[in-house]
Amino acid sequence: MTAPLPSNEPERLAALREMHLLDTPPEQAFDDIAQLASEICGTPISLVSLVDEHRQWFKAKVGLAATEASRHASFCAHAILQPDELFIVPDAQRDPRFHLNQLVVGEPYIGFYAGMPLVTSDGHSLGTLCVIDCRPRELTPAQMDGLRRLARQLGTHLELRRLSQRLAVAEDQMQSWAGDVARTNLRLHSEMQERERIENELREREEQLRDLFENATDLIQSVAPDGRLLFVNRAWLTTLGYRISDLATLTIFDIIHPDCLAECRAQFTRVMQGEALDNLQAIFRAKDGHKIHVEGNASCRVENGRAVATRAIFRDITKRKLVEAERERLIKELQAALAEVQTLSGLLPICGWCKKIRDDSGYWNSVEGYFKQRAAVEFTHGICPECSAKVAADLDKIASPPPNAPSSP
């Protein structure tokens, strides 16, 4: 039986092409995951399978010579329809969907199949990490859990690869951002190396993974549908000032500041309905009451079609918010000061008695001196008609003798 197409098939195929993984050479990171899946589940065959329009192509394979198979006969095409669930066919020969399948009645004679979808952060199932046996069988709970964990790590690796591809395209398109892109590529490369290191240690005990979780610097939390805090990490407790014993009496809404409580309740409802939210900003209230500004992402974990918990990772951006607020305050003060300067710039202090002008340093100068310093001009002097009449009158007074003055002999 041919599997139906996913409802988001065009977007899913676009995300797959964006990875630039199809028909690429083998890579050690993928081969290691496939080998580890086979060892954990005790199966002779394991695959990292990517499903495109007409086929399933194997990026990594153990126990199988073929590099691809028809999508029409693909078990993985059925598995990707359930992005959050492990798809298991215990006995393919008795399953009406597969008992006539060419891969069941012919090579490799599939008797058992278990596949976990490889899901991107935006919910697109690109393929599966699957294990295959030639005989009917079951997986133990520990084996199923291990297969899920490996698939999640592989999904993270694919997501980092997609981000790296996007950054490479952005670098070609925006040369002016070359420095930023280069730094980001270095950071992503470092993160990919760290992810690969973690993948190679997946067989270590759960306590080691828990220790890695506890040592994260970001604030990590999981919240039940009723708001109860299911778990938080050490950075969360340290930043907000709580002890682990305090969580028994707290809900997520108790630690959200009233300034954004209504908005956060609405966002919580959207996440519980299955919507993944990126670049969330909120204000947490620490135990002592002060505000902690955070930014991060949140999604929902679903089991059997039912939302069971949110998963969120935040970073503390309180210092950044304080810097932004201080910058706004300084801008307002500068704008006010500039407006005051512009108001005063049109006033020119002139002495009411001698008509000298005061400069910016407080010195008084003649009109000629003041403008010569600022405009580099030279002055010529003349007498206006009004002053000329006054000077002529004064000269006439000097030339005419006063009345009753004695005449010259």
- Residue limits of CATH 3.30.450.20 in the chain: 215-316
Strand partners, 294: 282, 316
Least confident of 27-36, 38-47, 218-227, 371-380: 371-380
Least confident of 140-144, 285-289, 391-395: 391-395
**pLDDT above 90 coverage of the chain, percent:** 57
- CA-CA distance, 299 to 221, in Å (whole number)? 11
pLDDT value of position 344: 47
Mean pLDDT of 41-51: 96
Grouping H, G, I as helix, E, B as strand and the rest as coil, residue 232 is strand
Looking at per-residue confidence, does 257 or 195 come out higher? 257
- Give domain 215-316's CATH number out of 3.40.50.300, 3.30.450.20, 3.90.550.10, 3.40.50.1220: 3.30.450.20
pLDDT value of position 365: 76
Looking at per-residue confidence, does 87 or 330 come out higher? 87
pLDDT value of position 356: 78
Mean pLDDT of 131-155: 95
Instruction: Answer for the pair 325, 317: CB distance below 8 angstroms, yes or no.
Output: no
Ramachandran quadrant class, 376 (left: phi over 0; alpha: psi -120 to 50; beta: rest): left
| pLDDT at position 125 over 60 | yes
* Residue 147: pLDDT band with limits 50, 70, 90: very high
| Two tokens, residue 397 | 């007074």
| Two tokens, residue 94 | 């008795």
- CA-CA distance, 317 to 409, in Å (whole number)? 108
pLDDT tens digit string along 250-272?
Answer: 999 999 999 999 999 999 999 99
Looking at per-residue confidence, does 205 or 386 come out higher? 386
- Residue limits of CATH 3.30.450.40 in the chain: 9-154
Helix, strand and coil content of the chain, in percent to the nearest 5, comes to 45, 20, 35
| pLDDT at position 332 over 60 | yes
pLDDT value of position 143: 97
Instruction: Answer for the pair 300, 271: CB distance below 8 angstroms, yes or no.
Output: yes
* Residue 176: pLDDT band with limits 50, 70, 90: low
| pLDDT at position 301 over 60 | yes
Mean pLDDT of 6-25: 92
| pLDDT at position 177 over 60 | no
Looking at per-residue confidence, does 50 or 214 come out higher? 50
Looking at per-residue confidence, does 407 or 54 come out higher? 54
- Cβ contacts of 223 within 8 Å, gap of 6 or more: 229, 230, 252, 268, 309, 310, 312
pLDDT tens digit string along 335-394?
Answer: 876 665 555 455 667 776 777 777 666 777 777 776 666 665 666 666 777 777 776 776
* Residue 310: pLDDT band with limits 50, 70, 90: very high
pTM over 0.85: no
Mean pLDDT of 184-202: 78
- May I ask the CATH class of domain 9-154? alpha beta
Mean pLDDT of 300-307: 89
pLDDT value of position 409: 46
Tokens 């059997």: give the residue.
304
Residue 335: C-alpha distances to residues 19, 330, 347 (Å): 49, 8, 20
- CA-CA distance, 328 to 292, in Å (whole number)? 19
* Average pLDDT of the residues of the chain: 86
**pLDDT above 70 coverage of the chain, percent:** 85
Least confident of 110-114, 227-231, 343-347: 343-347
Mean pLDDT of 236-260: 92
Least confident of 46-55, 319-328, 330-339: 330-339
Residue 96: C-alpha distances to residues 2, 6, 69, 127, 174 (Å): 12, 21, 20, 23, 54
Mean pLDDT of 5-18: 92
Mean pLDDT of 68-94: 94
| pLDDT at position 130 over 60 | yes
pLDDT tens digit string along 95-111?
Answer: 999 999 999 999 999 99
Phi and psi torsions of 167, nearest 5°: -65, -35
